[in-house]
Structure 1
Amino acid sequence: MNWKAEFSPEISMLTRIGRRLALCLVALLALAYLLSGIYGVGVNETGVLQRFGRIVDARIPPGLHYRVPWPMDRVVKVPTGEIHHLVAGFGADPEQVAEFERGYGPVNESGFGSFIIPYCITGDKNIIHLKLVAQYRITDPEKYVFGFKDAKSVAVRCIQSAIVRTISRSDVDSTLMTGRVILQKQILEDVQQQLSELGTGIAVFSTEMKNARPPATVAQAFKDVINAREECRTKVHDAQAHRNRIIPQGKAEASRMLNDAEAYKNRKIAHSRGESQRFEMLACEYLKDKETTGQRLYLEAASEILPVVNKVILGTNNGESIANVKFFTQEDVVGK
């Protein structure tokens, strides 16, 4: 019995089905391969398209896009819309401290192990430790991804070199207290210039000094100086407040006294002028009628003088003196 001849129709049908399934599978795989070229770029991202390693498009905007599937095309997504942070400076590095402590024991900043803590030197030859926090954006995705192996590390080195140059031109007081805002601005300008010249694709737009401090061995002395300056500033402010309070009061009192003196002067001048005019009028009247005017002036003077003095009146009786003497006080005269 020839089983091949007996089952040949079924074998032929299975062969055709297998071929069709294989074709469908190949078609599905090809479709999946082609669909794998669809990719999306986020809202805060910019895509960089490479074809066989060569950059084809370095500014792919957010949205859905298509590329030739792997291995021909490759897309690198760069977060250009986000704000990134860098911490750089000269202080205790946790990794270095941990490694040192594993081998040699605890680090004492004022003694053994202090050499592993970086520092920078100010223009007046003082040692300080400080950290600086920088905020930056990625402005050129192509330079950021392909210009350097690690553009972020390059930015950190640029910040450190800017700190060294800027701090070396400043004194310790300006660095730790009074001139920090100016120093931050100078460091920012220096970093921006370096990154622009190197072409890192990074733009730093903000720098802030953190944890600027002297070494532990002299920290207390610096603290005492700062406290003394704060106390001096407080006393100066109190003195200025007292001055600002007293001076207006003194000026107001002086103005009041000047006004009173001016009013007194005006009263005296007016009174003197009135008396002068009155005297001139009386002189004219006296020249016209000396006897009558003189008698009137005498009586007026007596009426003004007698009420304010003690008086003794001696009378006579037919030319003989009277022994009884009467004394009148001012109140008696005024009452009568």
Structure 2
Amino acid sequence: MAWNEPGGNGNNHDPWSGGGDNRGKRGGGNDQGPPDLDEALRKLQDRLGGIFGGGKKKGGSGGGSGKGPSKAAGGGFFVVIIVLAALFWAGMGFYTVDQQERGIVLRLGKYHDTVQPGLQWNPPLIDDVTKVNTTRIRSYDHRSLMLTEDENIVDVDMTVQYVVADPVMYILKIRDPSDSLAQSSESALRHVVGTSEMHGILTEGRDTLALQVQARLQRYMEDYSTGLQISKVNIKNAQAPRQVQDAFDDVIKAREDEQRVINEAQAYANGIIPEARGQAQRLMEESNAYREEVVAKATGEASRFTALLTEYTKAPEVTRERLYIDTLQDVLSRTGKVMVDVEGGNNMMYLPLDRLTEQQPLRDTSGRPVRLDENTLNQLAEQVLQEARQRAQTTSGLREGR
């Protein structure tokens, strides 16, 4: 029969009674309640004391023989707890700092050291270690409406890239570095935009604007001891407000047209000015050549006249005849001529018909112009010959009458 069944709860069947010695009985040997917890803890302490060298002591006074082993067992147990706690505390102090990080050690709330990468140990609960990545490039985006120097509103969108250059300042010198960076970016951008014109910001002045903002923002970070290093400032977009964007697009287009017309005019000027200079230089060269020709011709004529004067002085008649022949040869060689032989003498009649027709066209009795073809010229020559013969006969009759 089991010990906890009715009628089977005697001394020999109770596992918690310890044999015939029923300690802490409640209602005699027939009590079926739960086991005594104090007795169970006492037995556990006795066993732990035996394991760690706190065995039972023999002899001594009758009352002290039961308390000595319990105190020794309790002291050994607490030593084990302390050793385990010390090992656990020491194990909590090991940590690893990555190659891209630096560790800031605060001992009892005060700065103690900066830990380099590798396996490190610091006493926990005494030292507080904060790891900071010093190589990762962080970014901050900012966009706002600003007033330019020429009193125009521009919408600027920029990105600030930065790294933590001094982790001690980044952690200890300022409460919120990110908020300081945001306010400093706003201030630097407004200062630079406020001293620039809108045309430069919207067109070719973005790079200059970014460099000026970066330099000013870096000075702010150094003055505020944030420990941040500004790597680059990018102006992603700069435009007029959306409400007036169409009007500004028209203005920009007009400026582009103006620049295009200026370039075309400059190209035309570059083409026409050298040509005009070349023509002017050609006229000057022709003028110089004409002057030299006239001077040389005049000099030659003067020398020829001097030579003719010398010959004329020696033989006036011969020289006069020679000059007359040369003059006729020069004149008649440059014009058309008709020679008419007059009967009854050795006189020749010269008719410059071509010159006459060039000066004034011939007309008949009705006033109509006459075309001088070969037949017309022959008829005209016959009329001239008849008129010449009549004059010759008249002249010869007058001579005979005398």
Query: For this structure pair, what is the TM-score category when the shorter chain's length is used for normalisation?
Result: 0.5 to 0.7
Amino acid at match of 2:135: G
Q: Which residue of 2 aligns with 1:292?
A: 318
1:143 to 159, 169, 180: 169
**Structure 1 moving runs of 4+ over 6 Å:** 322-330
Percent identity, aligned pairs only, is 27
Q: Which residue of 1 aligns with 2:96?
A: 39
CA contact (8 A) 1:48 1:141 kept: yes
Task: Sort the Cα spacing of 1:261 and 1:323 in 2 relative to 1 into closer, same or farther, 3 A.
Answer: closer
Amino acid at match of 1:167: V
Give the drift of 1:297: 2.4
Task: Sort the Cα spacing of 1:147 and 1:282 in 2 relative to 1 into closer, same or farther, 3 A.
Answer: same
Give the drift of 1:145: 1.9
| Cα deviation digits, residues 69-101 of structure 1 (max 9, x gap) | 5444454443333433221232xxxxxxxxxxx
Give the drift of 1:326: 9.3
Amino acid at match of 2:339: V
Task: Sort the Cα spacing of 1:300 and 1:87 in 2 relative to 1 into closer, same or farther, 3 A.
Answer: same
Q: Which residue of 1 aligns with 2:218?
A: 192
2:278 to 249, 252, 265: 252
| Cα deviation digits, residues 293-314 of structure 1 (max 9, x gap) | 3333233223222333424354
RMSD: 3.9
Provide the rounded CA distance (Å) in 2 between the counterparts of 1:244 and 1:292: 66
Q: Which residue of 1 aligns with 2:268?
A: 242
Provide the rounded CA distance (Å) in 2 between the counterparts of 1:164 and 1:329: 97
Provide the rounded CA distance (Å) in 1 between the counterparts of 2:350 and 2:179: 122
CA contact (8 A) 2:92 2:124 kept: no
CA contact (8 A) 2:133 2:164 kept: yes
Say whether residues 1:56 and 2:112 are aligned partners. yes
* Normalised TM-score (structure 1): 0.66
Give the drift of 1:189: 3.4
Task: Sort the Cα spacing of 1:78 and 1:276 in 2 relative to 1 into closer, same or farther, 3 A.
Answer: farther
Provide the rounded CA distance (Å) in 2 between the counterparts of 1:328 and 1:292: 28
Amino acid at match of 1:230: E
Matched residue of 2:234: which SS?
A: strand
Provide the rounded CA distance (Å) in 1 between the counterparts of 2:347 and 2:215: 118
More helix by percentage:
1
1:80 to 134, 138, 145: 134
Q: Mean alpha-carbon deviation: is it higher for 167-176 or for 225-234?
A: 167-176
Matched residue of 1:206: which SS?
A: strand
Q: Which residue of 2 aligns with 1:272?
A: 298
Matched residue of 1:260: which SS?
A: helix
Q: Which runs of 5+ in 1 are unaligned?
A: 1-10, 17-22, 91-118, 331-336
CA contact (8 A) 1:143 1:199 kept: yes
Give the drift of 1:34: 6.3
Say whether residues 1:158 and 2:184 are aligned partners. yes
Give the drift of 1:141: 1.4
The structure that has the greater radius of gyration is 2
CA contact (8 A) 1:134 1:206 kept: yes
Task: Sort the Cα spacing of 1:284 and 1:205 in 2 relative to 1 into closer, same or farther, 3 A.
Answer: farther
Q: Which residue of 2 aligns with 1:133?
A: 159
Give the drift of 1:220: 1.3
Provide the rounded CA distance (Å) in 2 between the counterparts of 1:324 and 1:281: 33
Say whether residues 1:312 and 2:339 are aligned partners. yes
Provide the rounded CA distance (Å) in 1 between the counterparts of 2:352 and 2:246: 90
Q: Which residue of 2 aligns with 1:213?
A: 239
Task: Sort the Cα spacing of 1:137 and 1:264 in 2 relative to 1 into closer, same or farther, 3 A.
Answer: farther
Q: Which runs of 5+ in 2 are unaligned?
A: 1-46, 53-79, 355-402
Provide the rounded CA distance (Å) in 2 between the counterparts of 1:323 and 1:190: 113
* Normalised TM-score (structure 2): 0.57
Task: Sort the Cα spacing of 1:246 and 1:77 in 2 relative to 1 into closer, same or farther, 3 A.
Answer: farther
- Work out which structure has the larger RCO, using CA pairs closer than 8 Å and 6 or more positions apart in sequence: 1
Amino acid at match of 2:332: L
Amino acid at match of 1:312: M
Give the drift of 1:200: 0.6
Give the drift of 1:142: 0.6
Task: Sort the Cα spacing of 1:260 and 1:45 in 2 relative to 1 into closer, same or farther, 3 A.
Answer: farther
Task: Sort the Cα spacing of 1:297 and 1:180 in 2 relative to 1 into closer, same or farther, 3 A.
Answer: same
Give the drift of 1:245: 1.9
Q: Which residue of 1 aligns with 2:120?
A: 66
Give the drift of 1:163: 2.3
CA contact (8 A) 1:34 1:69 kept: no
Q: Which residue of 1 aligns with 2:362?
A: none
CA contact (8 A) 2:152 2:198 kept: yes
Q: Which residue of 2 aligns with 1:224?
A: 250
CA contact (8 A) 1:67 1:73 kept: no
Matched residue of 1:308: which SS?
A: coil
Amino acid at match of 1:143: M
| Cα deviation digits, residues 107-146 of structure 1 (max 9, x gap) | xxxxxxxxxxxx3334455443322212223221111122
